[in-house]
Structure 1
Amino acid sequence: MQTRPTVIAMPYGASLDRSAAQRVLRNTYALLSLTLLFSAAVAGAAVAFNLPGPGLILTLVVYFGLLFGIHKLKNRGAAVGLVFALTGFMGWTLGPLLTRTLALPAGGQTVMLALGATGAVFLALSAYATTTKRDLSWMGGFLFAGMIIAMLAGLAAIFFQIPALALTVSAVVALLSAGLILFETKQIVDGGETNYVLATVSLFVSIFNLFTSLLQLFGFASSDD
């Protein structure tokens, strides 16, 4: 009597979901790398030519305007062009901060320290998000609310010229940005985010906020030396 080998049915749908998530993650990292390089080049040009910042009002209008356009065109090729426009614009806004930091006694070291710390945090959190089985979806609402509060506090620090509040906001934004990098990457891995354009923008903004916050914190520490 012959016995048939036991056949275990594989969850085909789950396999497809994992494959799709991995493809979104690869596309996101590829586009993210290009936008980071482009933004860095624009920021370098802003420093080299000592370009003034666009100002708070123009920054908010262009930033949210481009975000709106990206979300509207997220499934079209034009969205990629808007992503480069957004990241390039953010590189321009970074120029004045880099110029002020580089003018400090240890400005170059401060920039490199912030850059290295940002890279290390991103790599560590990305590695954790792509390997952990824990559900991190609960973090979304908390992080979003925290960013709204931090943004309002940051605007208050600018309008009322409160350096201590601005420093506190930078520290809070750095922590929230690190949390968002973890949450957003995990969303891609779990299939919660299926559009690599939107995923790239989310990660870019979190990395940008982390870097600028660390730059302000390290710059403040350097100015006190």
Structure 2
Amino acid sequence: MHEQDYALNQAQVGQLEISRVLRNTYSLLAMTLAFSALMAYVAMQMNVGFINVFVLLIGFYGLFFLTAKLRNSAWGLVSTFALTGFMGFTLGPILNRYLGMSGGAEVVTSAFAMTALVFFGLSAYVLTTRKDMSFLSGFITAGFFVLLGAVLVSLFFQISGLQLAISAGFVLFSSACILFQTSAIIHGGERNYIMATISLYVSIYNLFISLLQLFGLAGGDD
């Protein structure tokens, strides 16, 4: 009897911990997305040029690993906002580019609406069904290396349709990451809400950029 009570109490504690991580993750995600949007607006108003790809990679990975190192302290929150603010700032010139094109406002609006729809739809699916999406880890790993290779090829060779394929691949990859990360939270695989927030933020960012490119290509702007 005592063992059953202990097991029940442990299950309740585990569920409370999962609920706490989930609540903190979505609260922090909402704040970082708002801050990122603010920084994108600032960059747009300053008419900042495109960020050098090496500066972008160094800034992103540097802040990402710093956040991972500080994830169990209050400084992790500071680093999280630094990372998401930096990524939002790099989004400014991209948005200016699309908004300066014919029909660009519709492209940006469509990409934003589709990103929100995909994120909330996938999150709601996992939260409602509570399915374990850990089986996607292999697909995500393979997808990362395939997309990395495709991006590198696109830097050196002009192959018709490759950019479209890369954008479509990133949409699928980001969607799988959202499913995987949300599942990891509700099944106790991710107990740190800072890392959960960063993972979801990066997926949303990549999803939005990829949809921008897809809608831009479909509209004949690229």
Q: TM-score range by the shorter chain?
A: over 0.9
Distance 1:160 1:94 in 2: 25
Is 1:18 equivalent to 2:29 in the alignment? Answer: no
**Which residue is equivalent to 2:31?**
34
**Which residue is equivalent to 2:202?**
205
Higher mean C-alpha displacement, 91-100 vs 104-113: 91-100
Distance 1:163 1:118 in 2: 26
Is 1:123 equivalent to 2:120 in the alignment? Answer: yes
Q: 1:135 to 1:106 in 2, by over 3 A?
A: same
Counterpart of 2:81 in 1: which secondary structure? Answer: helix
Counterpart of 1:138 in 2: which secondary structure? Answer: helix
What is the identity, as a one-letter code, of the residue corresponding to 2:88?
A: G
CA RMSD of aligned residues (A): 1.9
Structure 1 residue runs of 4 or more that deviate by more than 6 Å after TM superposition: 7-10
Q: 1:224 Cα deviation (Å)?
A: 5.7
Distance 2:190 2:12 in 1: 17
State the identity as a percent: 46
Matches within 5 A, 1:176-195: 176-195=173-192
Q: 1:104 aligns with which of 98, 101, 124?
A: 101
Q: 1:168 aligns with which of 165, 169, 179?
A: 165
Q: Deviations over 1:59-110 (max 9, x none)?
A: 1111111111111111011011111111111112212221111122111111
Structure 1: segments with no counterpart, 5+ residues: 1-6
Counterpart of 2:161 in 1: which secondary structure? Answer: helix
Distance 1:39 1:201 in 2: 12
Q: Which has the larger radius of gyration?
A: 1
Q: 1:149 to 1:128 in 2, by over 3 A?
A: same
Distance 1:62 1:224 in 2: 29
Matches within 5 A, 1:13-162: 13-162=10-159
Q: 1:133 to 1:35 in 2, by over 3 A?
A: closer
Q: 1:160 Cα deviation (Å)?
A: 3.0
What is the identity, as a one-letter code, of the residue corresponding to 1:110?
A: V
Distance 1:201 1:8 in 2: 37
What is the identity, as a one-letter code, of the residue corresponding to 1:190?
A: H
8 Å contact kept, 2:130–2:186: no
Q: 1:159 Cα deviation (Å)?
A: 3.6
Counterpart of 2:47 in 1: which secondary structure? Answer: coil
Structure 2: segments with no counterpart, 5+ residues: none
What is the identity, as a one-letter code, of the residue corresponding to 1:70?
A: T
**TM-score normalised according to structure 2 size:** 0.92
